[in-house]
């Protein structure tokens, strides 16, 4: 086996040349890093559209009266995100939610005051009916 010098200069053996061992190690490391960066970029490009993707859920007003100022939030979050200014009885609207969350609280104002439907599961349905009795009991039907 041929001994390679430690300098960064190439050793010349006739018409071909070989880099020394230190240069080869540096080049091999750079190549490995570049392969990893390229693989990460490819995976990000492929998975990018699915990361943070959104789905649309239909919301139906079955509460027996006009619902105003509809908003939603993740359970425990402090900020509500409005999604409809009002919804007539029997009317339907849709809201887009991120795929990375399943449970959402929905809030609205009715003729009897504010109402919250807590922790509605948006992952296993495409439509949710908001219900409320005259005594204030609120529930959700999944379609």
- The H helix count followed by the E strand count for the chain is 1, 10
Domain residue ranges in the chain: 11-47, 54-142
Handedness of CA 121, 124, 127, 132 (dihedral sign): negative
0.75 exceeded by pTM: no
* CA angle, 73 then 82 then 47, to 5°: 60
Mean pLDDT of 57-72: 95
pLDDT tens-digit map of 104-141: 999 999 988 899 999 999 988 999 999 999 888 999 99
Helix residue ranges, H only, the chain: 21-47
Q: Which of the following CATH numbers is that of domain 54-142: 1.10.150.120, 2.60.120.330, 3.40.50.300, 2.60.40.2890? A: 2.60.40.2890
């Amino acid at each position: 086996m041929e001994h390679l010098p430690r300098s960064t200069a190439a050793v010349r053996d006739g018409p071909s040349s070989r880099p020394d061992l230190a240069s080869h190690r540096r080049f091999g490391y750079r190549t490995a890093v570049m392969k990893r960066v390229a693989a990460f970029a490819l995976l990000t490009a492929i998975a990018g559209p699915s990361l943070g993707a959104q789905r649309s859920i239909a919301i139906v007003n079955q509460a027996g009266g006009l619902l105003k100022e509809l908003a939603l939030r993740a359970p425990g979050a402090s900020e509500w995100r409005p999604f409809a200014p009002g919804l007539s009885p029997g009317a339907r609207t849709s809201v887009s939610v991120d795929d990375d969350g399943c449970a959402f609280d929905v809030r609205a104002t009715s003729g009897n005051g504010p109402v919250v439907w807590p922790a509605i599961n948006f992952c296993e349905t495409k439509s949710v009916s908001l219900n409320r009795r005259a005594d204030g009991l609120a529930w959700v039907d999944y379609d």
